[in-house]
Amino acid sequence: MLNLLAFDYGASSGRAILGKYDGNRLKLCEVHRFSNDPVMVNGTLYWDVLRLFYDMKQGILKLRHGENIEIASIGTDTWGVDFGLLGSKGELLGNPVHYRDDRTSNMLQEAFKLVTKEEIYKCTGIQFTKFNTIYQLLALKLGNAHILDEARTLLFMPDLLNYFLTGIKKTEYSIASTSQMLNAKSGSWDEELLGKIGLPFDILTDIMQPGQIMGTISKLLCEELVINEIPVVSVAEHDTASAVMAVPSINGKYAYLSSGTWSLLGTEVSAPLINEKSFRLEYTNEGGFGNTIRLLKNIMGLWIFQECKRTWDKTGEKLSFDELESMAELCEPFKCFIDPDDDLFYSPGNMPEKIIQYCEKTGQPIPEGKGEIVRCIMESLAYKYRMTMEGLEDILGYKIPVLHIVGGGCKNLLLNRFTANALGRPVVTGPVEATAAGNLICQLIALGELSDINEARKLIARSFVPGEYLPSETEEWEDAYGKFRKAIR
């Protein structure tokens, strides 16, 4: 039995997941779960990165001393775009700022004054979102230039945690590709683009491909934790890249949906697809394992549902997600819709009221009660997935027969069913813990236990039982699609 440890950090919580590999199947066991709570200080929203590293050490200790398990390797994945800055002595210059902080509110417009939108996309092939690293750095340059002057190294969140573990400063390819600072065709930092915007590129490190051993836990940390020098693997460090590795499909054409706080819908291609159509439709070309490209679109996802529940919880009516979904199932279908990607829903705060505001603004019936609000969210997401799938097919030039949904959103049975109905094609779900599973199979490849991604995906298919949803009520869903498109114009 080979034991591997995956640290999977999401936008609201993190987990230490033990992977047990017996040569035929992979079993996942949760060792340590912890919250990831951003902290607002003087108007700036930060990540509590030192607490996140503390919980990383707790995960290692629980395994090594609690169960006395020998760990073969460790890998870390997180969300994209956010970063920490190190000074001349390798010290952290400040807590990383959260991507939902409002410092980047006008940075797209500021960047386009220096370089055209078309040129940025031609270089990077990345979807335009205001929280991309390039705009965060521009915000620093325009508002806190002294921090950039002091900085000697930039490390993205998983690379920063790996640095805390090993003392090694490296950047993994998939996480770097989320920044909109990587040249999509060369896979290297686009120094010419950064120079035009006036951003430093000497603070960026060498780029590593996923599936390599980057080093071992530092001697200092080994002494603190009383452990041996465990190898640390550069996995596909962007959580979506790890999740895509765990899609259990070997052959054929398919699309994936990594479903969670964010929804990322796309497919794998061998080279970037950067043209007038992908630019107009704003599809992104992010890096994946084996120099593949994840051609996808970023959708707001279950964040809206989570924020509604958070608002309702504060009133003392603490209903579970399952209870809210059951209430939604009993409500009138297709009463009203929202565009999940509207800026109104980007920031936290009284999400139910924002949904009502959107429906009022677009001249639709107002959802009444929790069930109708949840139904509005779920139907809108399902149709947004259909619209995104149609755009993807338009770029690719062929129809995609099946959608694989992976990640925590697999547990939302109502949304899975709605998605199959909206798409009019089969939906296959699982694994739920796709990000951790992808992290672990990447470690197995680095250790030489698996030969390649195809063998790794066969292991996933053997280890996890999928769910399947076939479309129904297709005529009703087809009729209401035009109503959705009208509501989001």
Active site residues: 239
Q: What is the DSSP string of 340-377?
A: TTSGGGTS-S-HHHHHHHHHHHTT-PPP-HHHHHHHHH
* pLDDT tens readout for residues 297-348: 999 999 999 999 999 999 988 999 999 999 999 999 999 999 999 999 998 8
* pLDDT tens readout for residues 277-306: 999 999 999 999 999 999 999 999 999 999
Residue 120 has a pLDDT of 98
Residue 250 has a pLDDT of 74
* pLDDT tens readout for residues 406-439: 999 999 999 999 999 999 999 999 999 999 999 9
Residue 65 has a pLDDT of 75
Cβ atoms of 159 and 263 closer than 8 Å: no
State the DSSP code for 155. Answer: E
Does the pTM exceed 0.85? yes
Residue 448 has a pLDDT of 98
pLDDT at residue 367 tops 90: yes
Helix pair angle (351-361, 369-396), 10° resolution: 70
Counting beta carbons within 10 angstroms of the beta carbon of residue 262, is it exposed (0 to 12), middle (13 to 18) or buried (19 or more)?
A: buried
* pLDDT tens readout for residues 372-386: 999 999 999 999 999
Residue 272 has a pLDDT of 98
* pLDDT tens readout for residues 121-138: 999 999 999 999 999 999
pLDDT band at 64; cut points 50, 70, 90:
confident
Residue 391 has a pLDDT of 98
Measured from the Cβ of residue 224, the count of other Cβ atoms closer than 10 Å reads 12
Q: Which of 460, 481, 486, 485 minimizes the C-alpha distance to 21? A: 460
pLDDT band at 175; cut points 50, 70, 90:
very high
| Mean pLDDT along residues 382-411 | 97
Residue 69 has a pLDDT of 87
* pLDDT tens readout for residues 78-91: 999 999 999 999 99
Q: What is the DSSP string of 174-202?
A: HHHGGGT-B-TTT-SB-HHHHHHHT---T
Give, in degrees to the nearest 5, the angle at Cα 427 between 383 and 254: 95
* pLDDT tens readout for residues 140-159: 999 988 999 999 999 999 99
* pLDDT tens readout for residues 255-273: 999 999 999 999 999 999 9
* pLDDT tens readout for residues 427-474: 999 999 999 999 999 999 999 999 999 999 999 999 999 999 999 999
Extract the tokens encoding 192.
């010419």
Cβ atoms of 450 and 400 closer than 8 Å: no
Query: Which residue type sits at 22?
Result: D
pLDDT at residue 251 tops 90: no
For 126, the 3-state DSSP assignment is coil
**Four-CA torsion 371, 372, 374, 379, nearest 10 degrees:** 130
Residue 12 has a pLDDT of 86
Beta bridge partners of 216: 231
List the domains of the chain with CATH numbers.
Answer: 2-237 (3.30.420.40), 239-430+466-489 (3.30.420.40)
Q: What is the mean pLDDT of the chain?
A: 96
Measured in degrees and rounded to the nearest 5, phi and psi for residue 247 equal -70, 120
* pLDDT tens readout for residues 94-123: 999 999 999 999 999 999 999 999 999 999
